[in-house]
Structure 1
Amino acid sequence: MRFAIGYQPAFHGLDPARLLDYARHGEECGFEGIYLPEHVALYPGARLGEMELPPTTPYLDPVDALAFVAAATSRLLLGTGVLLLPYHHPVPLAKRLATVDVLSGGRLRLLTVGVGALPGEAAAAGVDFTTRGRRADEALDVLRLLWTGGPVSFDGEFFAFEDVCAFPRPLADLPVHVGGSSLAAARRAGRRGDGYFAGGLLTPDERARQFAAARAAAVDAGRDPDALEYTRWGSVDMPGSTVEALAAQGVTRLVVSASSADPAEQRDQLSAFARRFGLG
């Protein structure tokens, strides 16, 4: 089992020094990487399930923020949890992501994409909410194609170009995980992703059903289902027995966040977790 940390700017703070302290401390504790979330635009009444998102919630751009974190760390892997892929054009996005990977020494290993769940956010980005799944599928194909360097061409429903070269290339094959809490997300992970980052408040049976669907989709696509990583959220105070149970379900990585808004308590919580599971 691998362990990473999540940072929520709206809760943990927007102070650049606090973000860097959190990341550096996670690295010192032995965590594998750090994940940053994304929302490109919010609006009054935006809801994720039963949770309402205040429209003034401050979300950093995760790619830019990860470049900032990369400059202040040396080992910590960089991840998004999740980057809302349909709201980005894949051609400039391929350049941005490859740039972060190159400048960080190849540490953009935990890139996770999703399709978004807020219709108003899609409208603000100029995207038809009903097409976001197809758009994400196509964007994934475009990213992987561009990262070969080129010249490459593409002719799809949403994106088209001829004889394009995209440099720099990532330092190595850049993994792309798929996040979400639906069967569609699980199947997308199996067909096109390097891993599935399951979210949402779901029953254990639904969790098992989704991971089975991801593996089945991988088989149908001619891919190795055993190569599919399985990431889940965890709590910073979770006991070893819970981790063992999750590992038995096929989980390969847990992402935990400090539950305190106080920087000193955040450090203590991450340190205690690291000691409990022998990180570092």
Structure 2
Amino acid sequence: MKFAISYSTASLGVDPEHMVAYARHAEACGFEALYMPEHVVLYRGAVLGSMELPPDLPLVDPLDALSFVAAATSRILLGTGVLLLPYQHPVVLAKRLATIDVLSRGRMRLLTVGLGSLPGEARAVGVDFRSRGRRADEAIDVLRLLWSGGAEGVSFHGEFFDFDDLCSFPKPYGMTTLPIHVGGSSRAAARRAGQRGDGYFPGGMLSPQERATQLDMARSEAEAAGRDPGALEYTRWASISMTRERAEALAAEGVTRVVVNVTSTDRAEQQDEMSALAERFDLPCDDRQR
């Protein structure tokens, strides 16, 4: 099982020196990837589940922030948890993601996309909240089409996106397309992951039975679509203080990657938390961390 770590500026701040130090320490500890979340805009009264979001949370653009992190690191992969795909135009997004991947020499490899759950956020960018699932499905198809297309151009005619003979270069680093993981805690998200995703990253407070049902659903949808269900990665959130027994239990559920958050507000203690997990699970640490 692989271990990744999240950095949310909502709780950890936007100080660039801290962000770089955090990412470099995670890399030195042997974490596979650094994930960042997205909200395009917030507003008074925005609620996620039962929690009202303060409208002044300093949430940076994850792709801009990840490109900044990439310039200060050399190995750690870059991930989103999650990028709100219905609020991005896939023609523009294809160029942005390929650019980051090329400049980071192939590290923009854990893109996780979701639909978003704030109706006001959809309204702010002119997207019909009820259609965002269909819009995301088309966007995934457009991204892969543009990345795989050659100099002769590619065409697409859908409900939301329509174009002829477009060429999008540069291509992802050494690949014809970037992996796209699907996030979300609904059965619709599980079906989307199976039909179109390279991985499934459910969040939320789901029962063990519902998690198992959704994973089975994702794999069944992959098989029905002629895709290899065994190739579908399964990512879950976990505690940074998790035990080996908990990790083994998650692995038994089919989990291939966990993403953790630091709990301390003290920067030195945050690094200690990362180092402790790395030591507990024998991550491939930089010699400086041994």
TM-score (norm 1): 0.99
Q: Deviations over 1:228-265 (max 9, x none)?
A: 00000001111111110000000000001111121111
Does the aligned pair in 2 maintain the 1:44–1:54 contact within 8 Å?
yes
> Which residue number corresponds to residue 168 of structure 1?
170
Unaligned runs of 5+ in 2: 285-290
Aligned 1:84-95 pairs, distance under 5 A: 84-95=84-95
1:52 and 1:19 map into 2 onto residues whose CA distance is 26
> Which residue number corresponds to residue 245 of structure 2?
241
What is the DSSP-based 3-state SS (H/G/I as helix, E as strand, rest coil) of the residue aligned with 2:38?
coil
CA RMSD of aligned residues (A): 0.7
1:265 corresponds, among 266, 269, 272, to 269
> Which residue number corresponds to residue 287 of structure 2?
none
2:106 and 2:155 map into 1 onto residues whose CA distance is 26
Does the aligned pair in 1 maintain the 2:31–2:76 contact within 8 Å?
yes
Aligned 1:75-224 pairs, distance under 5 A: 75-150=75-150, 151-171=153-173, 172=175, 173-224=177-228
> Which residue number corresponds to residue 235 of structure 2?
231
1:2 and 1:92 map into 2 onto residues whose CA distance is 31
Does the aligned pair in 1 maintain the 2:122–2:129 contact within 8 Å?
yes
> Which residue number corresponds to residue 61 of structure 1?
61
Shift of 1:50: 1.1
Q: Deviations over 1:78-128 (max 9, x none)?
A: 000000000000001100000000000010110000010110000001100
Q: Please say if 1:31 is aligned against 2:31.
A: yes
1:269 and 1:254 map into 2 onto residues whose CA distance is 15
Unaligned runs of 5+ in 1: none
Does the aligned pair in 1 maintain the 2:9–2:58 contact within 8 Å?
yes
> Which residue number corresponds to residue 6 of structure 1?
6
2:226 and 2:200 map into 1 onto residues whose CA distance is 17
What is the DSSP-based 3-state SS (H/G/I as helix, E as strand, rest coil) of the residue aligned with 2:239?
coil
Does the aligned pair in 2 maintain the 1:90–1:143 contact within 8 Å?
yes
Given residue 220 of structure 1, which amino acid in structure 2 is its aligned partner?
A
What is the DSSP-based 3-state SS (H/G/I as helix, E as strand, rest coil) of the residue aligned with 1:147?
helix
Shift of 1:149: 3.4
Shift of 1:51: 1.4
Does the aligned pair in 2 maintain the 1:149–1:167 contact within 8 Å?
no
Shift of 1:48: 1.0
> Which residue number corresponds to residue 251 of structure 1?
255
Does the aligned pair in 1 maintain the 2:13–2:58 contact within 8 Å?
no
Shift of 1:129: 0.1
Identity of aligned residues (%): 68
1:250 and 1:109 map into 2 onto residues whose CA distance is 20
> Which residue number corresponds to residue 277 of structure 1?
281
1:90 and 1:68 map into 2 onto residues whose CA distance is 22
Given residue 161 of structure 1, which amino acid in structure 2 is its aligned partner?
F
Does the aligned pair in 2 maintain the 1:109–1:175 contact within 8 Å?
yes
2:47 and 2:189 map into 1 onto residues whose CA distance is 19
Of residues 43-52 and 83-92 in structure 1, the stretch that sits farther from structure 2 once superposed is 43-52
> Which residue number corresponds to residue 52 of structure 1?
52
Given residue 246 of structure 2, which amino acid in structure 1 is its aligned partner?
T
